Amino acid sequence: MSKLKNPRRVADNEARAKLRMIRISPQKLNLVAQLIRGKKVETALADLEFSHKRISGEVKKVLQSAIANAENNHGLDIDSLIVSEAYVGKNLVMKRFRARARGRGAKILKPFSELTIIVREVEEVSAENNSEAA
């Protein structure tokens, strides 16, 4: 009388990692997410390692978590992984006020974001197979 197993939210050749409540605006985080979309994971890790953006260290941790999920939880091969999706969502916005001249106040918005990275295992296509098919 146990419950049925939850279905996987991603395909069998994919793994996912998600980080919520990141203290950066979604627009700035999306610039770093665009940097790694569609690349092989070792190239994406190298790009994040040498990026000058402040948030690139957090994005690198999420990517490493997705790679570890792919290897340990789903038995995928690390060498054939690519970053299939990296998308950014909005989270809460803290509202603050700053005192200004003449008794006025200025609104300050401190946005939070969330990041989801999905890695996919792809089959390597060698040059020999392409020449035989032609």
Could you state, in order of their start, the residue ranges of all structural domains in the chain?
Answer: 14-121
pLDDT tens-digit map of 56-109: 999 999 999 999 999 999 999 999 999 999 999 999 999 999 999 999 999 999
CATH number of this structure's domain 14-121, picked from the four choices 2.40.10.10, 1.10.287.3510, 3.90.470.10, 3.20.19.10: 3.90.470.10
- Are 61 and 22 in contact by the 8 Å Cβ rule? The answer is no
How far apart, in Å, are the Cα atoms of 19 and each of 12, 40, 113?
21, 20, 9
What are φ and ψ of residue 99, in 5° steps?
A: -70, 135
What is the pLDDT at residue 2?
80
* pLDDT value at 24 more than 90: yes
Which pTM does this prediction carry?
A: 0.85
Mean pLDDT of the chain: 91
Strand ranges in the chain using DSSP code E only, listed in sequence order: 14-22, 81-99, 105-121
94-111: b (≥16 Cβ within 10 Å) or e: eeeeeeeeeeeeeeeeeb
* pLDDT value at 124 more than 90: no
